[in-house]
Amino acid sequence: MLTNVEYTRLMEILLRQDQYIILLHQNADPDAIGSAIALKELLKSQGKNIMIGTETLNNLSKNLISSLGDFIVTSPTDHKNLIILDTSTPVQLGVFESMIGKAEVVISIDHHETFETNKFKGTKYTYFINKERTSTAEIIFDIMLKMKDEGLIDKENTNCDKIIRAILTGIVTDTGHMRFSDVNTLKTLIHIFKRGYHISDVDELLRVEDDISKKIAILKAHQRMKLYSVSDFIVATSNVSSCEALAAKSILSTGADVAFVGADNGSEVRISGRAKKSVIDRGVNLAKIMSQVAPVIGGEGGGHKGAAGANGKSNMEEGLKKCVELFVQDLGGQGNGESLEYTEEAEIQDCWGT
């Protein structure tokens, strides 16, 4: 842990310069981006001018940046004061590594094992490495608490909501949704939860809105669904013009145990099948079903037991019917050889039976 003395020294050093660029490792993850956004806001509240630079971002980080409404630069600038976050070796800075040579101040804040401290001996380098912390975001949160204790945070001038959301996202992602969290992570989270935040806030910040065609495909797949009761499973079939795999997956999350969704664009027919684990556990193999359906649509099929597909040319409706028949056979074949009865449900009944 950084001691109180170290935090005081870190604060003192950070507040010395008026302009910084915060640099992050390539393919910056939400801990790097969240930490950078939070530190940027904290320093901005002290009248500092701050930019964030990273060569590339991962997809989650792109979502985080657009959700929090921030921006980054992707090529070196002429800044002389650098803050390097969440980066254990300068090489990881990619194109920004070249800025280190010309820099006058380099401050590294990180929770990784090794920053190559020996490579940069000299007065311009200052390291605050706390490898016991599960994320860099927690270190930034400690800086925030320290600033608050010292009366530096003026709520009017500080976007505390943005800072906390950024930090919470870094913590949650770097701990693998808390799997690698420890006592100190939880202590930080207690502070954050007491302010009314929750882990589900992070999911919202990282989620990408599906584009309109995906939404329509999924909704139409639900609208056109046919349902069958087979043994104690619900089998659904449907059709869309595209996004059939996504639609099948979505139908499973709505409640079906097995879904077969066809797509026919006039020149090509595709069928995608998805099954829940409870179905696979009964010996059903969708890859086998898809390879047997393939001749009906004039193509080939395969995949995995729980997720499989077939591509062909025509006869989507017949293909979907065949999928259900083969599923019934496959399920029946696991029992005493009797063929199972199946009925098409005329209406979807809700759980109250009305």
Chain positions contacting Mn ion, by CB under 5 A: 31, 86, 136, 174
Shorter beta-carbon distance to Mn ion: residue 37 or 320: 37
Smallest gap from residue 113 Cβ to Mn ion (A): 12
- DSSP alpha helix (H) spans, the chain: 4-14, 30-44, 59-68, 98-102, 136-149, 160-174, 183-194, 199-206, 212-223, 244-254, 277-280, 286-297, 316-332
Taking the alpha carbons of 140, 144, 146, 152 in that order, is the dihedral positive or negative?
A: positive
Q: CB nearer to Mn ion: give 112 or 304.
A: 112
When the beta carbons of 173 and 239 are compared against Mn ion, the nearer one is 173
Using DSSP, state whether 241 is helix, strand or coil.
coil
Q: CB neighbours (10 Å) of residue 46?
A: 17
DSSP strand pairing (125-129 vs 307-312)? unpaired
Q: Rounded to the nearest whole angstrom, what is the least distance from the CB of residue 165 to Mn ion in the complex? A: 17
Q: Between 54 and 238, whose beta carbon lies closer to Mn ion?
A: 54
Residue number with the smallest Cβ distance to Mn ion:
31
CB 111, min distance to Mn ion, A: 6
How near is the Cβ of 130 to Mn ion at its closest, in Å?
A: 11
Sequence-distant contacts of 8-15: CB under 8 A, at least 24 apart: 8/146, 10/107, 10/109, 10/126, 10/128, 10/143, 11/143, 11/146, 11/147, 11/150, 11/152, 13/107, 13/126, 14/43, 14/83, 14/107, 14/143, 15/46, 15/48
We find the least distance from the C-beta atom of residue 11 to Mn ion, in angstroms, to be: 21
Q: How far is the CB of 38 from Mn ion (least distance, A)?
A: 13
Nearer to Mn ion, 180 or 193 (CB): 180
Closest to Mn ion by CB, 68 vs 129, is 129
